[in-house]
Amino acid sequence: MKKKFLTLISLLMVSVMLFAACSPTKPAEDQKTEVADDKSGEVKEETKEEPKEEPKEEKKKTEDEAKLNFEGRTLNVVATSESYVPLFEKFTEKTGAKVEFLSMSSGEVLSRVKAEGGKPMADLWFGGGLDAFIQAKNDDLLEAYKSPNAEDIDAKFKDADGYWYSKGITVVGLLVNNDVLEEKGLEAPKGWKDLADPKYKDEVIMSSPAISGTNYAALKGWLDLWGEEEGWKFFTELNENITAYGKRGKDPFEKTIAKEFAIGIIPADKSAHDAMKEENVTLIFPEEGIPWVPEGVAIFKGSDNVDIASAFIDFMYEPESQKMIAEIDGKDTNQLVKPGAEGFDLGLDPSKLIDEDLSTFGSAREAILEKFQSIAGDK
C-alpha cells in the first residue's frame, strides 16, 4: 500500500508542478489584477497630471478621495532595512493602503530593474544613496511627481523635475571599538587625517565606495573638503592602512563590533547609536568635517500604484512623519531636509557638515570610482 501511495504522490507532484508552471494566474497575480480593477481611473489621471499647477485646495480634495480608494490596495516598497515598519504602519492607518517591503541594496535594485527590462519591481524606492537614484533617473527608470509638500525643500534635496526626493541625509562617522584600541594601546582617532597614521595599519575598515553609498559619500566628501589633489593624497595614505575593502555595505559596522577592526567608516544611524549602548564602541564625528549623503526616495516608472506612492511622498514630508523618521533613523534635526522639522538632539554641529558639491555627486561617480580602483587595486 505504502509503495503505491508513494508512487501516486510522486506522480501527483509532477503533474501539479506542470500545471503550476503552465497556468499564469498565481495568487500573487490575482492580487495584482484585483488591485488594478478597483483602482478608479479618475484618481490615477488626476495624480498623473501636473499636480503643481493645481490649486492647493483641490489637491487636498484629491488626497481625501484617494484616501478612500487606497483601502484594499497595497504599496510595494523597496527599503534599505526593515526599521521603517512603524512609518509604513502609520501610512496604512492614514490611507488604508497596506505596505509590503523588501530590503535590497541600491545596486541590487538597479540590476534587477534593468534585468526586468524596466518593469518595476515595486512602486516606491525608499532610502539608499543618492548616486543610485541619479543613475536610475538617467536610465529612465523613475516616474516624476511634484509633491506639494516638498515645495519648501531646498533645491539640492530634490530633483528639479521631481524624479527623486530626499527623506533626510545620512552622515558619515567613525565607529571605534574601545576593546581593540585598548589591546593595541592606541587612542581613538579625532579626525580623518588620523586614520592615515601608520599606527592604525590594518585596523581601519571601509566598504568599497562602489558598493556602499555611505563610503562613496565619504570619499566624495574628502574630495570636496580638501580639493581633488589633497583629497586623493589623503586617500592614498589611508589606503595603506586598509587590508581589504568590504564587499557589503554592512561590513564596517559588523566587523568593528566583532572586534575584527578597531575603526569602521559607517553611516551614523540608529544601529550605531544602539551599538553604543550594547557594545564597548564609540561613535566619533571627525573634526575636519562630516561627509553626508542625501537618502533618495522615488517612484518606479510604470508602477501600478503611482497614486499611492505619490501620496506616500506627500505623507513623508508631513511634520509628524518627519518626527517619526528622525526617531527611526536616530536623526538629528540637521539630518532632516524639511525646514522646521523636529529631530533628535544628538548635538550634530551643522557647520561641521562638509560643503558638498551635490551637482557632481552622480556625474563624477564613474571617474571617482575609476581613480579609486587605480589606487586600491585588487584590495
Partner 1 sequence: MKISKHRENINRFYNVLDVLLIIIVAVSVILFILYPMWMVMVKSVNIDGIYSLDIYKNLIKNSTKLITNSLMVAISTTVLTTVMTVIISVYASLTKKWVGRLINLTLMLTMISPPFVTSLSYITLFGKRGFITHDILGLTLNTYGFYGIVLMQSLGFISLSSILLIGIIKSLNSDTIQSARDLGADTGSIIFDIIIPMIRPGILVVAVLAFVRSLADFSTPAIIGGSYNTLAAESYFSVIAYSNLNRAAAINTLIFIPALIGFLIFRHYMNRLPMMGGSTTGSDGLNLPRSGKIYRIFGVLTILFLFILIMQYGSIFLSAITKKTRGVMYFTLENIVESKNHINTTIFRSIGYSLIAAIGGTTIGYLLSYYREIRKVRLMKVIDFIATMPYIIPGTFFGLGYILAFNDYPLPLTGTATIVILNVLFKQLPFSTKIADSTIKQIRPESIDSCKDLGGHEMNVLKDIMIPSSKPGFFLSFINNFTATMTTVGSIIFLVYPGQKLATLIMFDVIQSGKYRIGAVIACLLILVVMLFNISFYLLFLSDKKKTKQSSN
Considering only residues 206-235, where is the footprint of partner 1 by CB under 8 A? 208, 210-211
Q: How far is the CB of 344 from partner 1 (least distance, A)?
A: 17
CA-wise closest residue to 159 among 170, 172, 173, 143: 143
64-67-72 Cα angle (round to 5): 160
Give me the least distance between CB of 51 and partner 1, in Å please. 25
Task: Supply 25's cell numbers.
Answer: 494566474
Interaction between residue 169 and partner 1 (CB under 8 A) = no
By beta-carbon proximity to partner 1, the closer residue of 152 and 274 is 274
How many Cβ atoms from other residues are within 10 Å of residue 282's Cβ? 16
Residue 218 vs 272, nearer CB to partner 1? 272
Question: Judged by CB under 8 A, which of 105, 170, 215, 334 binds partner 1?
Answer: 105
Of the residues 54, 65, 108, 288, which one makes contact with partner 1 according to CB under 8 A:
108
DSSP string, 4-31: HHHHHHHHHHHHHHHHHHH----HHHHH
Please report how close the Cβ of residue 245 comes to partner 1 at its closest, in angstroms. Answer: 8
Question: Residues with Cβ < 8 Å from 115, sequence gap 6 or more?
Answer: none
Binding characters for partner 1, 55-94, by CB under 8 A (x = yes): -------------------x-xxx-xxxx-x---------
- Residues near partner 1 (CB under 8 A), total: 83
Q: Which stretch binds partner 1 (CB under 8 A): 43-51, 163-171, 203-211, 348-356?
A: 203-211
Grid cell for residue 89: 504602519
Looking at the DSSP bridge assignments, the partners of residue 292 are 171
Residues 111-140 interacting with partner 1 (rule: CB under 8 A): 111-112, 114-117, 119, 121-122, 135
Residues 239-258 that bind partner 1 (CB under 8 A): 243-244, 247-248, 250-251, 253-255, 257-258
For the chain, the first-to-last Cα distance in angstroms comes to: 62
The residue from 215, 271, 305, 322 that contacts partner 1 (CB under 8 A) is 271
Taking residue 233's Cβ as centre, other Cβ atoms within 10 Å add up to 14
Which residues within the stretch 303-342 sit at the binding site for partner 1 (CB under 8 A)?
none
Give the residue with the Cβ less far from partner 1, 253 or 285: 253
- Binding of residue 375 to partner 1 (CB under 8 A): no
In this complex, which beta carbon is closest to partner 1, that of residue 231 or of residue 330?
Answer: 330
Nearer to partner 1, 29 or 154 (CB): 29
Confirm or reject binding of residue 18 to partner 1 (CB under 8 A). yes
Return the H-helix or E-strand segment holding 272.
Answer: helix 270-278
C-alpha cell at 247: 564587499
Residue 56 Cα distances to 51, 149, 154, angstroms? 9, 10, 20
The only residue of 9, 36, 68, 375 in contact with partner 1, by rule CB under 8 A: 9
297/166 Cα distance (integer angstroms): 6
Q: Which of 260, 288, 318, 342 binds partner 1 (CB under 8 A)?
A: 260
Binder of partner 1 out of 55, 185, 277, 347 (CB under 8 A): 277
Q: Does 160 bind partner 1 (CB under 8 A)?
A: no
- Is 179 one of the binding residues for partner 1 (CB under 8 A)? yes
Neighbours of 118 (CB within 10 A): 13
**Rounded CA separation 264/214 (Å):** 12
- By CB under 8 A, which span of 12-20, 62-70, 154-162, 227-235 interacts with partner 1? 12-20
375 vs 237: CA distance, rounded Å: 10
Closest CA to 300 of 78, 146, 36, 96: 78
Tell me the three cell numbers of residue 195: 586614520
For residue 292, report the phi and psi dihedrals to the nearest 5 degrees: -150, 165
Any idea what the Cα angle at residue 180 is, between residues 176 and 185, rounded to 5°? 105
- Using rule CB under 8 A, residue 13 touches partner 1: yes
